[in-house]
Structure 1
Amino acid sequence: LDTSLALQMREAGRAVLDELVELRVATGELAPRTRDVAAIGRSHGVHAEPITLGLKFAGWYAELGRGIERFERELEGVATGKVSGAVGTFAHLPPEVEEKVCERLGLTPEPISTQVIARDRHAGYLGALAILGSSMDRFATEIRHLARTEVGEAEEPFGKKQKGSSAMPHKRNPIVSERISGMARLLRGYSVAGLENIPLWHERDISHSSVERVILPDSTGLVHYMARRLRNVVENLRIFPENAARNLGLSAGLIASQAFLLELVERGLTREEAYELVQSIAMAAREAGRPFLDQALESTELAKELSPDEIRELASPDRHFRHVATIFERVGLG
């Protein structure tokens, strides 16, 4: 049974790989198109420092590459067969028979088995699928956040006859991304079930069997479906550079605070002194509702350390984009 299961998993896994490769190609085309679309980076959901949308998508490209490589390794790991008898001792057939059978089937003979092939192989396969699903969940979650009304930097494709809401005709909900996030939860659960299948009794029990009848085909089919649906979203993702630029300016320059902090430390201030000075300027600007740059230029304390031109240079977002091309080259998108 395990030998036939290995054949099924290998063939199904190859179909999954085809879809994953196509998805990665789509992200690899989206990233360069948006490489120079300036946007705000967020940590904890709060504005942090400038980024470009292309950098987000380049990260997806790199992550999918790792996921594909991981899945290929695990797919190779489950492509093993056994004809070693009831408890793996070759009591009735010699190992040479197993080797010939596996060679003909294109499988690797399991070096040592019991009545079954050890389930760490299958758990690895499920784990790799769960990681891929979680990666796609991360991408889908990003799309969902970028599509929020108050953000509006990206949006799923929307068909002419599609309904965003049965009750509110104006809506365009990110339903595909939400579906992908939901399916990823199943994959993570299936991965845990795969781990539970590893500790079988002695040379075998069948506590794993009923579980695998659900989790192996379901996990494989889910990732295949998720990759195909997400590829359509990525290929047709709507990007709104004007909204990204608007959001980048919402903080009125406060996002330059770290650049000032580091420069002041470089000039000789302690980190505590530099932090207190920059924070006082930032808080004053925030409370007055004026640009951080204007407040910084008027600071007599800051003027003791930096010239007006140096202040303007530190406040410019351009410093955050100097190495974008290098990052793209590092992930193979140069």
Structure 2
Amino acid sequence: MEAHIYDIDFTKAAAEEKLTRHDVMAHVHVFAELCPKAAAIIHLGATSCYVGDNTDLIILRDGYDLLLPKLAGCIHRLAGFADQYKSLPTLGFTHLQPAQLTTVGKRACLWLQELLMDERALRRARDDLRFRGVKGTTGTQASFLQLFNGDGSKVKELDQLVTKMAGFQRSFIICGQTYSRKVDVESIAVLSSLGATVHKICSDIRLLANMKELEEPFETTQIGSSAMPYKRNPMRSERVCSIARHLMTLQGNTLQTAATQWMERTLDDSANRRITLAEAFLSADSILVTLQNICEGIVVYPKVIERHIRQELPFMSAENVIMAMVKAGGDRQVCHEQIRVLSQEAGAQVKQHGLDNDLVERIRKSPYFVPILPYLDTLLEPSTFVGRAPEQVTEFLQEEVYPVLEQYKGQIGKPAVLEI
């Protein structure tokens, strides 16, 4: 049997399956022809799910082993981006309306934090996997107990040996004909969650591209639109969102399958799982490769960001101006009213006439604010409005990101290349 592992005639097995309409038995028949001395014992005591389910568990484990370094690669690239722009002020948004300032790097850390959660979830899901092992038709190991003449210790030892040979530390003690389909629920749940994370990241990139504050990579020969030559559509991010949306929907499929497993098993899970499990891992792989490619080439436009800040910062600086006036001997309530009136006038210029925000100029021209005019520019310096954002980025990278990346040393660093 060992001598014929690598010369199986898969074409013949496919033809046999058309006749028997049974995938495992087709392979048993073809393999038996290669190993005539072993023909009588091939598959003895086993069931199709011994082959299929144990194989699926190996594939799930190996799938995680392929995805985790790619996820770490995205984290690695995004960490470098966050560190590079940790001190660059930018408008923060709540309700998609301008709010207090943050920094470009701090926003990237919001993305990073969720990717770290996904890394932990994928790693846990992989490490939680158990082998189905040698359990027989309904999970009772009855056939193997008969094979070993009632010696339960040998049945247990066989189970442990096969489990170890497959690279697992432990197998399920309890199962039906299949391993519990809750395993699929848990396995795909973490991938669907990853899909939500990456969708959020790329949605943010698309919104920021609309504001012209940053862009995903765009080659010199790339065409953004067949009709509008000037366009630079964020096609990579759009592709990621599209595939991630599909990935997120697959979670419901596994829940339906787990819920409808009758007794020890029913076969309406089989065709479904062959699609769902494969598509989930392939979708996750696709979005991670594309996300890394995006993170390797994000372009930031500081001047556009600065312009947007100038449009909004005068309103945000009102409290700073009031505090400064009070320190200079002014009355807080009087100052508040002065600022309120000037803000309304400046707001009308912006909203009704499409002009720039001129609140600062109105403050400069007002006799009331003469005491603070010498240091008004200091009060309006954007870097003084970002709080501890730069320090938070540094702390986050050092305490939470780099220790995770250390686990993938030697597995990350290669660029992600997209063919199309």
Conservation of the 8 A alpha-carbon contact between 1:82 and 1:110: yes
For 2:392, the equivalent position in structure 1 comes to 327
Shift of 1:85: 1.8
Q: Does 1:104 align with 2:165?
A: yes
Q: 1:156 aligns with which of 216, 225, 238?
A: 216
For 2:233, the equivalent position in structure 1 comes to 173
Shift of 1:242: 0.7
- Cα distance 1:252–1:9, how it changes in 2: closer, same or farther (>3 A)? closer
Q: Distance in 1 between matches of 2:215 and 2:252?
A: 33
Q: Distance in 1 between matches of 2:100 and 2:232?
A: 29
Q: Distance in 1 between matches of 2:187 and 2:66?
A: 14
Q: Distance in 2 between matches of 1:288 and 1:168?
A: 33
Conservation of the 8 A alpha-carbon contact between 1:87 and 1:203: yes
SS at match of 2:311: coil
Q: 2:181 aligns with which of 99, 119, 123?
A: 119
Conservation of the 8 A alpha-carbon contact between 1:30 and 1:57: yes
CA deviation vs aligned residue, 1:176-231 (integer Å, no higher than 9, x gap) = 10000001111111111111121211111122222111111111011111111111
SS at match of 1:134: helix
- Cα distance 1:250–1:104, how it changes in 2: closer, same or farther (>3 A)? same
For 1:105, give the aligned amino acid.
Answer: A
Q: Distance in 1 between matches of 2:176 and 2:320?
A: 61
Q: Does 1:205 align with 2:266?
A: yes
Q: Does 1:40 align with 2:91?
A: yes
CA deviation vs aligned residue, 1:93-130 (integer Å, no higher than 9, x gap) = 33332122111111220131111111222111111111
SS at match of 1:250: helix
Q: Which ranges of structure 1 fall in alignment gaps of 5 or more residues? A: 265-273
For 2:135, the equivalent position in structure 1 comes to 84
Shift of 1:13: 1.7
- Cα distance 1:298–1:104, how it changes in 2: closer, same or farther (>3 A)? same
Q: Does 1:74 align with 2:125?
A: yes
Q: Which ranges of structure 2 fall in alignment gaps of 5 or more residues? A: 1-51, 145-154, 326-334, 351-356, 400-420
For 1:3, give the aligned amino acid.
Answer: N
For 2:288, the equivalent position in structure 1 comes to 227
Shift of 1:175: 0.4
For 2:157, give the aligned amino acid.
Answer: E
Q: Distance in 2 between matches of 1:258 and 1:102?
A: 66
Conservation of the 8 A alpha-carbon contact between 1:28 and 1:333: no
For 1:130, the equivalent position in structure 2 comes to 192
Structure 1, 56-65 or 288-297: larger mean CA deviation:
288-297
For 1:271, the equivalent position in structure 2 comes to none
When the two structures are superposed, what TM-score results if normalisation uses the length of structure 1? Answer: 0.85
For 1:317, give the aligned amino acid.
Answer: P
- Cα distance 1:162–1:298, how it changes in 2: closer, same or farther (>3 A)? closer
For 2:391, give the aligned amino acid.
Answer: T
- Cα distance 1:293–1:192, how it changes in 2: closer, same or farther (>3 A)? same
Structure 1, 252-261 or 203-212: larger mean CA deviation:
252-261
Conservation of the 8 A alpha-carbon contact between 1:256 and 1:317: no
Q: Does 1:4 align with 2:55?
A: yes
Structure 1, 291-300 or 231-240: larger mean CA deviation:
291-300
Conservation of the 8 A alpha-carbon contact between 2:346 and 2:358: yes
Q: How does 1:231-250 map to 2 (within 5 A)?
A: 231-250=292-311
For 1:196, the equivalent position in structure 2 comes to 256
Conservation of the 8 A alpha-carbon contact between 2:209 and 2:215: yes
For 1:54, the equivalent position in structure 2 comes to 105
The size of the alignment, in residue pairs, is 323
> How large is the Cα RMSD of the aligned pairs?
3.1
Q: Distance in 2 between matches of 1:320 and 1:308?
A: 19
**Bigger CA radius of gyration:** 2
Q: Distance in 2 between matches of 1:256 and 1:194?
A: 51
Q: Distance in 2 between matches of 1:309 and 1:110?
A: 75
SS at match of 1:40: strand
Shift of 1:239: 1.0
For 1:125, give the aligned amino acid.
Answer: S
Q: Distance in 2 between matches of 1:211 and 1:73?
A: 25
- Cα distance 1:205–1:276, how it changes in 2: closer, same or farther (>3 A)? farther
SS at match of 2:99: strand
Q: Distance in 2 between matches of 1:230 and 1:298?
A: 49
When the two structures are superposed, what TM-score results if normalisation uses the length of structure 2? Answer: 0.69
**Identity over the aligned pairs, expressed in percent?**
22
